[in-house]
Structures are given as structure tokens and as C-alpha cells.
């Protein structure tokens, strides 16, 4: 090999090495910016079901090489247990489950956004022919709710407004379907529940509402993630929330059509779903100080009545995008 050929070969190797390094760095940057997969948890009602049915999030993330997985949960606490365990990257629940989830040892949970308050979306129900006329009449009676749910906290506050505590009632923890059946059979006197189960009980069972959440709770819905996911993939969280926002805007403008679409996906009568949708407010927002303060009040209340194992600072779990 002559000197000219040797130096040409050397320059080629040097150029190739630079190209490999650039390619490797680019691949690393892309892998850091976008995961291979994102998993979202949802309940059998709400915006995420419609977003899932449209496939719009999948279309948006396909160009980034991100696959989308969906997981359905009956209510919030088990969903956030899955998030804490690393099985979910993104979830939506009511206001109380994140408080319990944050109290778990080493919880990675962060709040990334919230839906506006919807206090009318929760109700404390009795059968139409019940002798219970007021919340105060529940003293000594059996009351059902889902443990750790937003309806659990709503019940605490509804009782407090009537001058009662949880110690004044016989609290029965049941999942929504079981609680409905218990109320219908007369095994419990009242049921604290959220929509759409609330609307279904009104329209199908003819229940009577002792009180809804107006003036008692905010009933925010919260979008949460794991800190490592939010901090490593902020653009991913932004895209998810953007697509949720588009879906929310469509639901707000088209409640009847949204109810029909939800009915197809969840197997519930559209009239029930439309009633529930009209009691909800829409549009994901960044966590404002007053919203975090309201969450802190929930945490402090649960700690005071010894339902939370230790004090938490909600502000520490509010994600600040950099």
C-alpha cells in the first residue's frame, strides 16, 4: 500500500469513527427523549376511553416510535398501586387516591395536571323509600363506599357537615358494583359514590340523593405519572395532555355524541353517561397553588383521623416541567 492510499484509508477510518459516534449519540438522545412504550391507566368512564377509541394518541406517538398500552381499573386506588409499582406510566383518578398513594414508602407519584372541580359528580345516595331523610339520619346506619376513593373522602366531609364522624356510622368498604347491589338489597342504608355509577343509580334504581359534593368537596380529577417518567420524557407527558385536552374540548361541545361513543365502549346506556357528563368539567390544567393546597387539606384531614400513616407534603409531588 502506498503512502497516499494509507493516508486515504486513515482519513476514512477517522471519518467513520466520527459518524459512528454521532449516530450513537443521536440514538442515545432519541432513546432518552422517547421510550419504546407508554402505559396508561383509565377507569370505565371518561376522556381517556374516548381518546383510546380514536387512536389519536397512537397516531401521534407512532412517529416517535412509542407504542401505547392501555389498562382498565375499576377505581383509583388499585390503579395508583400499579403506578407506584412501575406498571403504569400515566393515570387519571379522583382527588383522594393520589394522597394515599403518595404516602406509600418510596412512592414515585407526581401530579402532572388536573381537570377542573366537579363537585356535583359525587353523591350520597339512599333508596327512594328509605326512612333516611338527611345525612344526620345515617347515625348508626351502614354506609358503603370504595376504600381510599374520592367518595370515601366525600363521605367523611358530608358526615362532618352534618355533625357526624366515621365512628358514627357502620362503614362498609365495597367496590362500586358490589355497593350498588348492597344498596338495592337493603344490606346498606346509603352509598357514597361518583359518576357514572351515581347517574346509573339515579336513573336505574330511582335512588334519592341526600347530598352531592357541592359546598363539601372539589372533586378534582388528577393526572399523575411517575417522577422518572415525567422528568425523563417531558415531551411525552406534554403530548398525552395535549391529546387529552383535544378530547375534553370535543366532549364539552358534544356531550350527547360523547355519551353515545362512551356507551359503545363501556356498555352503559347513553342517557346515564350524558347525565354524568353534564356534571363534569373539562380541560387539563397545570397544578395551581390553590389546587395543591386543597389536596394538602385532604391529606391533613386523613392524617388527623388516622387514615393516613404519616404526614405528606403534596407540594413535593407536584411536577414542575423545566
Averaged pLDDT in 10-residue chunks for the chain of 322 residues: 38 36 37 87 92 96 96 93 97 96 96 97 97 98 95 97 97 96 98 97 97 97 97 97 97 96 92 96 96 97 95 96 76
106 and 229, same domain (yes or no): yes
- Structural domain includes residue 291: yes
Of the three residues 196, 212, 228, the one that is the final residue of a domain is 212
193 and 308, same domain (yes or no): no
126 and 109, same domain (yes or no): no
The count of other CB atoms within 10 Å of the CB of residue 269 is 15
Of the three residues 212, 237, 257, the one that is the final residue of a domain is 212
Looking at residue 154, its pLDDT comes to 98
Asked if residue 169 lies in contact with residue 140, where contact means CB atoms within 8 angstroms, the answer is: yes
182 and 250, same domain (yes or no): no
Looking at residue 33, its pLDDT comes to 84
Looking at residue 304, its pLDDT comes to 95
Looking at residue 44, its pLDDT comes to 85
The number of domains in the chain is 2
Q: What is the pTM of this model?
A: 0.86
Looking at residue 32, its pLDDT comes to 62
Looking at residue 106, its pLDDT comes to 94
305 and 293, same domain (yes or no): yes
- Structural domain includes residue 239: yes
Looking at residue 75, its pLDDT comes to 87
128 and 179, same domain (yes or no): yes
- Structural domain includes residue 6: no
Query: Which domain range does residue 136 map to?
Result: 119-212
Looking at residue 265, its pLDDT comes to 86
Amino acid at each position: 500500500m502506498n503512502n497516499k492510499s494509507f493516508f486515504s484509508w486513515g482519513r476514512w477510518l477517522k471519518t467513520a469513527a466520527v459518524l459512528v459516534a454521532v449516530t450513537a449519540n443521536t440514538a442515545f438522545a432519541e432513546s432518552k427523549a422517547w421510550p419504546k412504550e407508554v402505559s396508561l391507566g383509565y377507569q370505565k368512564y371518561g376522556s381517556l376511553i374516548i381518546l383510546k377509541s380514536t387512536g389519536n394518541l397512537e397516531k401521534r406517538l407512532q412517529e416517535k416510535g412509542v407504542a401505547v398500552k392501555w389498562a382498565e381499573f375499576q377505581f383509583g386506588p388499585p390503579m395508583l398501586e400499579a403506578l407506584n409499582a412501575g406498571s403504569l406510566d400515566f393515570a387519571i383518578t379522583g382527588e383522594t387516591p393520589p394522597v394515599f398513594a403518595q404516602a406509600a414508602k418510596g412512592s414515585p407519584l407526581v401530579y402532572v395536571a388536573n381537570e377542573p372541580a366537579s363537585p356535583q359528580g359525587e353523591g350520597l345516595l339512599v333508596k327512594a323509600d328509605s326512612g333516611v331523610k338527611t345525612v344526620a339520619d345515617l347515625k348508626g346506619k351502614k354506609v358503603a363506599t370504595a376504600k381510599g376513593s374520592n367518595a370515601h373522602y366525600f363521605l367523611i366531609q358530608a358526615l362532618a357537615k352534618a355533625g357526624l364522624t366515621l365512628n358514627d356510622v357502620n362503614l362498609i368498604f365495597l367496590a362500586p358494583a358490589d355497593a350498588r347491589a348492597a344498596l338495592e338489597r337493603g344490606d346498606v342504608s346509603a352509598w357514597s359514590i361518583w359518576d357514572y355509577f351515581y347517574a346509573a343509580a339515579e336513573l336505574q334504581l330511582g335512588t334519592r340523593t341526600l347530598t352531592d359534593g357541592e359546598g363539601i368537596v372539589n372533586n378534582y380529577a388528577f393526572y399523575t405519572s411517575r417522577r422518572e417518567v415525567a422528568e425523563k420524557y417531558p415531551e411525552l407527558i406534554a403530548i398525552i395532555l395535549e391529546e387529552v385536552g383535544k378530547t375534553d374540548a370535543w366532549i364539552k361541545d358534544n356531550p350527547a355524541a360523547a355519551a353515545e361513543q362512551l356507551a359503545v365502549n363501556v356498555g352503559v346506556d347513553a342517557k346515564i353517561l350524558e347525565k354524568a357528563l353534564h356534571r363534569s368539567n373539562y380541560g387539563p390544567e397545570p397544578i395551581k397553588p390553590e389546587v395543591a393546597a386543597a389536596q394538602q387539606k385532604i391529606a391533613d384531614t386523613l392524617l388527623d383521623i388516622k387514615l393516613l400513616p404519616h404526614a405528606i407534603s403534596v407540594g413535593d409531588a407536584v411536577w414542575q416541567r423545566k
